[in-house]
A and B are shown apart, each in its own frame.
Chain A
């Protein structure tokens, strides 16, 4: 019994059906962790990108160091750090929040790079034309730069969304009951690992296919007439 659901060991099919609600509960946790981590990565990555492009070295440098660190150390190390070290300084977060934070932090270093590349792909002449026409900086950003950068950014961001979903199982080591962890617990208790693990694989495949299709749909829907994309 798990999450109030009982497993049925009478036949493989019955077993599979009976554990589906348990895995479903784990899947929701996986999706929530991925979505929350990704949202954090999207916001924080933009912050890093802006800081790193700051003309002042004292701002750009620390941002560059931090993102380099986030990108080049394993997710698990960062996760352990947040999970075991932060509480020593009185910051105690639920395991789920710690996990989502770790995902968001690591992926913010990747998204920062995507933003930077996307923003740099907007030619300098666009900024100069906007300035020559006296367009206010905010208007320039929202109506000249963003529309030209976003179509370049979306496909790469989509890849990171899929990638972050596939990294959620790492959170199981800090007790988060995401889908793989649930499958393992079912296996531990029923001595049948094959069916729950296969089901996790299948559900993952469906989730990533759906996410990719969603990103592609967004990409098709975005206006990009006239914007040179490579």
Chain B
């Protein structure tokens, strides 16, 4: 049974002369938890950023929820802003650097978009924010500013902020890479709970191999803008077929 909610068809992405994604084909099924691993510079972030429309593409088609983000006629033709807004509304993104709004309280960070974009009444947005803060274990920090929180706490707020928009797809770009080692666990804990308790589709870029192995339905190994290997976590981590995958895993585990 496959019901792709994300589909990359021959997607080409270039920065100048540098081809980052070369005819990438890649799908994620509804409700699936997929982890992307791979060396730095292999195009992992680019995949997420294209989905979130933070980057455009030079060729191919990216489908989200069964509809293309941009249409391909001759080259890639831009979709209307209204269409992109609708598509972005189906996704939430958690950034490596959190990207919380530093001048807004935790509560305001979470309620700003639901109020301004979804048009929720303030009281309802606040109630929802409180629920989400409870989920990420930060209820008592509601009226603090981001700089008063640890990195791990900030990232948990960022997760709550993304969830407040009720996305069906959640994108994580190395959510724990900017954290001190002792703070990684609390963030992974929250993501793990989301993965286990919600039917969200999750696409996660991470270097936390043990975590990837535990939470993902499928692991995708990226190398130089292509998928070198993909499969169930046990296969990839215990018995990869590709030499590159082996080397990468060996190097990562030694680090």
Contacts and interface: CB of A to CB of B under 8 A. Distances in A.
Interface of A: 123, 125-126, 128-129, 131-136, 139, 143-144, 147-148, 223-228
B18 interface: no
Interface string B193-232: 0000000000000000000000000000000000000000
Interface residues of B, number: 28
A109 to B, nearest CB: 29
Interface in B90-124: 91-93, 95, 97, 99-104, 112-113, 116-117
B54 A132 contact: yes
List the 3 closest A-B pairs by CB distance, nearest first.
A133-B113, A129-B99, A125-B99
Nearest to A151: B103
Given A134-B117, A226-B103, A228-B147, 9 more contacts: A128-B52, A128-B95, A129-B95, A129-B101, A132-B54, A134-B89, A134-B113, A226-B146, A226-B148
Which of B53, B99, B117, B147 gathers most chain A CB within 10 Å?
B99
B161 interface: yes
B14 interface: no
B246 interface: no
B132 interface: no
B88 A148 contact: no
Contact of A226 (B99, B117, B145, B165): B145
Contacts of A135: 112-113, 116-117
B85 interface: yes
A226 B102 contact: yes
A216 B112 CA distance: 30
Contacts of B148: 226
A126 to B, nearest CB: 6
Nearest to B118: A134
B209 to A, nearest CB: 26
Which of A132, A134, A147 gathers most chain B CB within 10 Å?
A132
Contacts of B116: 135-136, 139
11 contacts: A123-B97, A125-B95, A125-B99, A126-B101, A129-B93, A129-B99, A132-B91, A133-B112, A134-B85, A135-B117, A228-B147
Contact of A225 (B88, B93, B103): B103
B92 A143 contact: no
